Amino acid sequence: MGAQHSHEHGHHAHGHGPDRSGSRRALAWVFLLTTVFMVVEVVGGLVTGSLALIADAAHMLSDSVSIGLALLAVWLASRPPTMRRTFGFQRAEILAALFNGLALVGVSIWILVEAYGRFGDPPEILGGPMLIVAFVGLAVNVTAVLILHRGGDDSLNVSAALRHVIADLLGSVGVIVAAVVILLTGWEEVDAIVSVAIAVLILGSSWTILRDSTEILLEATPRGLDLAELGNAMLEVDGVVEVHDLHAWTITSGFPALAAHVLVAEGHDCHAARRELAELLSERFGVDHTTLQVEHPAPELLQIEGLSR
């Protein structure tokens, strides 16, 4: 601004994004586990005739593809920013998470279609081998969940992979139940019923990750951040008389950002106000990446709408 009493200060508390080294190691181990067992489960499903095993194998396949993409996304996100991509590839993991969610929906629809064709006319199913494969699957999925839980962080990408694996774990439990029922009663329709339950489980697990990744891509206010409360807290800083053009969004999971235009009363130090605001936003609201334009109000700025005292 060119007004006589205008002081313009752009403050950038630039973070470099969260460290994803733990995520990368966890995803790599889980990718290896799921890929190997996916092959075992496909063979087991074909040999035993169990749709529940094949459904779980299809989910494992989506796991392997999705976790492979997640690993690629973590690598891309670790690349340094450039003049063209000033945040680097931080959003790559959000795109991978969105793909993961869509993959879950596709897998669940395929399972439902296959299960429908088996009701009333189930094939012969070998309950014993089916039970053995299911128990191995349960062990693999428990191991994968522990790896992701211990080695991951608040990454949406890792969260997406974890949802895949948890759904697989519960699917393995369902397959074990179906195998036991078939062995004890010979009721083979239970295989299709368990398959439908797995499909519904997969659909449910996809909802949160699709919602969160879409909100980040649409640059919605980060979940858990009350923008009105934040703006009013900024107004409580000594000397601040107005806050407008207030925006908060998420660069990638665990990396919120904020920008605002702040007016400070004449006689107050804009630099001190900016430092106090940055400290407030970091300590109280967990927002470290801020861009604040702080200045004294010129006469033509006094009528600007915004949060004000």
- Mean pLDDT throughout 63-87? 79
Q: With bands split at pLDDT 50, 70 and 90, how would you rate the model's confidence at 239?
A: very high
- Mean pLDDT throughout 184-207? 86
Q: With bands split at pLDDT 50, 70 and 90, how would you rate the model's confidence at 151?
A: low
Q: Where are the domains of the chain?
A: 21-217, 221-308
- Cβ 205 vs Cβ 167: under 8 Å: yes
Quote the tokens at residue 157.
């990408």
Alpha carbon separation from 153 to 43, 81, 280 (Å, rounded): 34, 22, 25
Instruction: Count CA within 13 A, CB hemisphere, residue 253.
Output: 24
The pLDDT score that the predictor gives to residue 155 is 64
- Closest alpha carbon to 155 in 268, 282, 19: 19
54 has pLDDT over 90: no
- Mean pLDDT throughout 201-230? 89
Domains 21-217 and 221-308 share a fold: no
Quote the tokens at residue 190.
């239970």
The pLDDT score that the predictor gives to residue 103 is 84
**Number of continuous H segments (helices) and E segments (strands) in the chain:** 8, 5
Q: Is 88 left (phi over 0), alpha (psi -120 to 50) or beta?
A: left
- Distance, in Å, from the CA atom of 239 to the CA atom of 263, rounded to the nearest integer, reads 8
Amino acid at 106: G
CA dihedral angle for residue 233, residue 238, residue 244, residue 248, rounded to 10 degrees: -40
- Mean pLDDT throughout 174-197? 90
- Is 221-308 a domain of CATH 3.90.1150.10? no
- Closest alpha carbon to 51 in 156, 231, 243, 179: 179
Higher pLDDT, 8 or 146: 146
The pLDDT score that the predictor gives to residue 261 is 95
The pLDDT score that the predictor gives to residue 89 is 84
Among the ranges given (23-27, 179-183, 283-287), the one the predictor scored with the smallest mean pLDDT: 23-27
How would you classify the pairing of strands 289-295 and 255-264?
A: parallel
- Mean pLDDT throughout 174-182? 91
CB within 8 Å of 88: residues ≥ 6 apart: 17, 76, 77, 79, 80, 81, 82
The pLDDT score that the predictor gives to residue 59 is 73
Q: With bands split at pLDDT 50, 70 and 90, how would you rate the model's confidence at 267?
A: confident
- Distance, in Å, from the CA atom of 280 to the CA atom of 87, rounded to the nearest integer, reads 24
- Cβ 188 vs Cβ 124: under 8 Å: yes
8 has pLDDT over 60: no
222 has pLDDT over 60: yes
Q: Is the CA virtual torsion 210, 212, 217, 221 positive or negative?
A: positive
Secondary-structure breakdown of the chain: helix, strand, coil percentages, each rounded to the nearest 5: 65, 10, 25
Quote the tokens at residue 227.
């923008």
CATH fit for domain 21-217, picks 1.10.390.10, 1.20.1510.10, 3.10.180.10, 1.10.10.10: 1.20.1510.10
Quote the pTM value: 0.72
| Count of Cβ atoms closer than 10 Å to residue 29 Cβ | 16
101 has pLDDT over 80: yes
250-263 pLDDT tens trace:
988 778 999 999 99
162 has pLDDT over 50: yes
